[in-house]
Structure formats: C-alpha cells, structure tokens
Structure 1
Amino acid sequence: MRILALDVGDKTIGVAVTDPCGLTAQGLEVLIRTEEGEDARRVLELARQFQVEEVVVGLPRTLAGEIGPQAQKVLRFGELLAQQGLKIKYWDERFTTKEAEKVLLAADVSRKKRRRVKDILAAVLLLEAYLERRRSEAEPI
C-alpha cells in the first residue's frame, strides 16, 4: 500500500511517497504552487501514477495546537483533494520544516541547495513520522 505525503505551503508543496509496501518514505518532488485547482490536479496525477491508497497532508497547527489561518488553507486544499476521491489523513507537522532545515544544516548543505530540497525533506519527515505511528499502533502489547 503506497502513501503520498504533502507538505503544503503558500508557494510550494513538498511531496514524498512510500515504497510499494508502504514501509519507507522517499522524497519525490516539489510542486510550485499555481492555482488551487491546478495544484490539486497535479497531486491527483501523482496519486494515480504511484497508485497511492491515501494521502497524508501536513497540518500546520499553531504552537498552542489550534487551527490557525495557514492550517485552514491546508484543510481547504485537503478537502479539494478529497472531493477528487482521494483518502486524506491530516498529520500535525508543526516542526517538520524546521527539522528539515536542521538536518540540512548539519549535513553542511549549501543555502541554495537547502532551498530546493527543504520542502521534499519536510514531506519525507512527515511521512516517516506517520509511518512510525502506524507501526507502533499495529504492534501487539
């Protein structure tokens, strides 16, 4: 079972996908945002291409855990994807972009390269956290 993960921002969408067994996460690409309907169409194409069964969308809650303006935009985009028949799951991703930046800095990646891969890495980290939670919930006690 493949899962697609999206780190949705105002300017870009970082995309990651699992392997066919749904065990590991790989960065796929960064979509440059255009118009919401067009963005949804491109995500739908990727979902079909990789035969995904669900899409995990990072939900950027506020530090207090609330749904702020950015999270509302993401929820609207997720709803648009759901209307196209995709199974949508939301995942708290408050710190994935910051974590991605830290990983890239620690790896001494240049500023120019960091800009290009930060969103993909954020989607990978989001997907890895989601997969880890699924595995821990599936393990017998």
Structure 2
Amino acid sequence: MGRILAIDYGDQRIGLALSDPLKIIASPYKTIINDNDDYSVNSIQEIIIKEDIEFVIIGLPLSMSGEDTEQTKKVKTFSDKLSSKNVKIIFIDERWSSKAAKRSIIDQGIKTGHNKSLIDKTAAALFLQQYLDQKK
C-alpha cells in the first residue's frame, strides 16, 4: 500500500505533494526546477521509487469554462512522458489551486514574493487533499 504523489506542473517549477501511507493527509513535499521534461521525469521517477508511490495525480489547468488551454497541452505532453515509465496517472481539475495556495500561505503570515516554490507544492497538496477527501 503506497503513497500518492501529486504534481502541480509549471513551466518553471513543478510542485510536489505526498499523501501519508494511509492516504488520509496530503503534505507539501518539494519543488523541482523544470529545466526540461526529461530531467523532471527522471527526478520524479526517483521520488516514485524512494517514496513507494502507488500512483500519481496531476493537476490539469483547465479554463474557467472547463476547456483545455495551452498549459493543459503542456501538462498532457509531460504526463505522456511520465506514463511511459509505467506510472499510473490520474488527472484532477486544478483550477484555482495556485490562488488558494497563495491565500493559505498569506493567511499564515508568510510573504509569497520569494516563496513561489512554496506556493507550487502547497497547490499540489491542496488538490491532493481534495482527492483524498473525496475518496473517504
């Protein structure tokens, strides 16, 4: 019984979050600098092995009307590369996750100007927690 890894894919950074082994609580894990997809996929593959990941949830950045965007296409291209490593992937709507993460961080009294990586991994934790709560 492994953990779940959540991915908030961005052009510059990829935020990661992990569930606990019982799949009850999501926590921000780390942020990877997205120099290129091959580097990022290999880094995530190492995490999948190290953290005993059962499957991956990737946030899908849809438009407000629910349509694909240019960023959605980039996320799907990235996920295709990751799935070629025999990783089970589930997509989840991540509209508003970055804004909600930023609001959560500000509410804690943390300045967000130089904490973009914190926003990215917190966004991943938010949509992972949403997924976990729906599965209860």
TM category, shorter: over 0.9
C-alpha distance in 1 between matches for 2:38 and 2:117: 24
Runs of 4+ in 1 over 2 A off after TM superposition: 111-116
Provide the rounded CA distance (Å) in 1 between the counterparts of 2:53 and 2:112.
Answer: 32
> How far off its partner does 1:116 sit?
3.5
Structure index of larger Rg: 1
Residue in structure 1 matched with residue 88 of structure 2 by the alignment: 87
Q: Which residue of 2 aligns with 1:12?
A: 13
Cα distance in 2 for partners of 1:107, 1:45 equals 32
Map 1:97-108 onto structure 2 (within 5 A): 97-108=98-109
- 2:60 corresponding residue in structure 1: 59
Structure 2 portions without partners, runs of 5+: none
Matched, 1:22 2:27: no
Deviation at 1:113, TM superposition (A): 5.1
Post-superposition CA distance 1:17-45 (Å, at most 9, x none) = 11111111111100000111111010111
Query: What TM-score, normalized to structure 2?
Result: 0.95
Q: Secondary structure at the match of 1:27?
A: strand
The answer to whether the Cα contact below 8 Å between 1:13 and 1:32 also exists between their aligned partners in 2 is: yes
Gaps of 5+ in 1: 136-141
Q: Distance in 1 between matches of 2:95 and 2:48?
A: 24
State, as a whole percentage, how many aligned pairs show the same letter.
30
TM-score (norm. length: structure 1): 0.91
Q: Tell me if structure 1 keeps the 8 A contact 2:112–2:119.
A: no
For the residues of structure 1 that align with 2:112 and 2:29, how far apart are their CA atoms?
20
> Are the equivalent residues in 2 in contact too, given 1:16–1:120 (CA < 8 A)?
yes
The letter for the 2-side match of 1:109 is: I
Decide which structure has greater helix share: 1
> Does residue 1:133 correspond to 2:131, yes or no?
no
Question: Do 1:27 and 1:120's aligned partners in 2 also have CA atoms closer than 8 Å?
Answer: yes
Moved more, 115-124 or 80-89: 115-124
Cα 1:82/1:116, change in 2 over 3 Å: closer
- The size of the alignment, in residue pairs, is 135
